[in-house]
Amino acid sequence: MDVADLERQLAQFWREASTDSQAVMRACTHNLIVACQDDDGVADATRTVARLSEQFPGRMLVVSVAEEAQGGAERSDLDAFVSTHCHRGAAGSRVCCEQVTLAARGPRGMSLIPETVLQLLEGDVPVYTWWRRTSLAADPLWEPLARLSDRCIVNSATSADPARALADLAGLASNDAWRGASGDLAWIRLEPWREIVAAQFDSGLTRGYLDGISAVEIDTASTTAGAYLVAWLASRLGWSLDDRQAAWRRPDGAAVAVRLAPDRGSGSRLIGAVRIEATDLGRTARLVAERTAPDEDSVRLRVEAEHACPPPSILKIRRPEDAPLLCGELGRDSEDPVFLEALGLAARWASTPERLA
């Protein structure tokens, strides 16, 4: 594949796309590298970046690697295909950006991807990588593509080895030699649940229990989601992690029993329920947030306390798709310190398999 010839074809395309009667504006605010596992992943990623381009138009470089061609067929190690994503701008003009899909075959084709991507990057705009492959550091593309990126975004909930994915992402985030920032869609999707758990302690009835949490149980279909939620609680409340005993401890030294229970019915909904037990001035309480049904996005909150019985409430939680989540990540101009602290703790906790259901 000749990169220079591909660039000439792109330039020719944009010249021919504009006519006297209809001008086409080419927009490029960033480079987005999308590393896909297979052809199905490419199709799904293309649909997402088409929506993303309406808010963040840029040069999209979608890459995938297939097995070696069968039957001795004469095929190139790396092929490129060009397409465009267009929408109407505020003034009625057509605003377009381009997608270059790189299809590699076999180890040799994979080895050509990093240098080809580097040559295709637009200068003077940020570089983002959306990692959709099943492994991170064990994948030959992970390190070279992450090194090119100002921000590297993964979804650890879909990883083949969630505990390893957390460790790999934490390793990248803590690498002083890397100039970029990390992000995880699994963490972003937990924002409604973090808000719900925090809101349970907002009232005068429950606020005193915050420092007396003794047990946390989470129904989850995702190891990484459960680990993130526990690590977020620990980071905000000052819990420490005893690595040898895989145990959480409050600042006063008391242990916090944590259990992740498999929730197979949640499907793409990462969390099914969060149950917290706590004490305050010798009184006990149980704070529960659970979905009204496995396939619904409504959560019922209730407090079971010795001295009071407040009425339950129901909250509707949002479940955004990848495109709006990526928009938020691309719009972020700095690291999220809360995420980084939770990531480090979640990776440590997840490194011992018996800690997790």
Judgement on whether residues 205 and 268 belong to the same structural domain of the protein = yes
Same domain for 144 and 8? yes
Q: What range does the domain containing 66 cover?
A: 3-149
Q: What are the structure tokens assigned to 291, written together?
A: 């979905």
Using CA atoms, how far apart are residues 329 and 128, in angstroms rounded to an integer? 10
> Which of 70, 65, 146 lies closest to 107 in space, CA to CA?
65
Residue 207 confidence class, pLDDT cut points 50, 70, 90: very high
Count structural domains, the chain: 2
Residues 229 and 139 in one domain: no
Do 109 and 217 belong together in one domain? no
The verdict on 281 and 351 lying in the same domain is: yes
Is 184 within a domain? no
- Quote the tokens at residue 348: 């440590």
State residue 78 phi and psi, 5-degree precision: -145, 120
Q: Is residue 277 part of a domain?
A: yes
Both 83 and 10 in one domain: the answer is yes
- Same domain? For 216 and 347 the reply is yes
Q: Is residue 327 part of a domain?
A: no
pLDDT, position 307: 78
Alpha carbon separation from 186 to 128, 155, 260 (Å, rounded) = 17, 5, 16
Tell me, yes or no, whether 207 and 88 share the same domain: no
Stronger pLDDT, 73 or 104, i.e. the higher one: 104
Span 197-211, average pLDDT: 92
Digit-coded pLDDT (tens) for 163-179: 999 999 999 999 999 98
pLDDT at 102: 94
Residues 343, 214 share a domain: yes
Determine, yes or no, domain membership for 329. Answer: no
pLDDT tens digits for range 230-259: 999 999 999 999 877 778 999 999 999 999
| pLDDT, tens only, 260-276 | 988 755 555 689 999 99
Can you give the pTM of this predicted structure?
A: 0.89
Side chain identity at residue 103, one-letter code = A
7 domain residue, yes or no: yes
Q: Do 144 and 261 sit in the same domain of this protein?
A: no
Sheet with 271-280, edge to edge strand ranges = 240-242, 247-249, 255-262, 213-220, 271-280, 283-291, 298-305, 313-316
Q: Are residues 223 and 345 in the same domain?
A: yes
- pLDDT score at 91: 65
**111-142 per-position pLDDT tens digit:** 999 999 999 999 999 999 999 999 999 999 99
pLDDT of residue 75: 62
Tens digits of residue pLDDT in 275-321: 999 999 999 999 999 999 887 889 999 999 887 778 889 999 887 78
Residue 207 lies in a domain: yes
Does 234 fall in a domain? yes
Q: pLDDT at position 117, please?
A: 95
Report the mean per-residue pLDDT for the chain.
87
Q: Are residues 200 and 340 in the same domain?
A: yes
| Residue 158: inside a domain | no
Distance CA 290, CA 297 (A): 10
Q: For helices 223-237 and 191-199, what crossing angle results, to 10°?
A: 40
On whether the CB atoms of residues 106 and 68 are closer than 8 A, the answer is yes
CATH at residue 283: 3.30.360
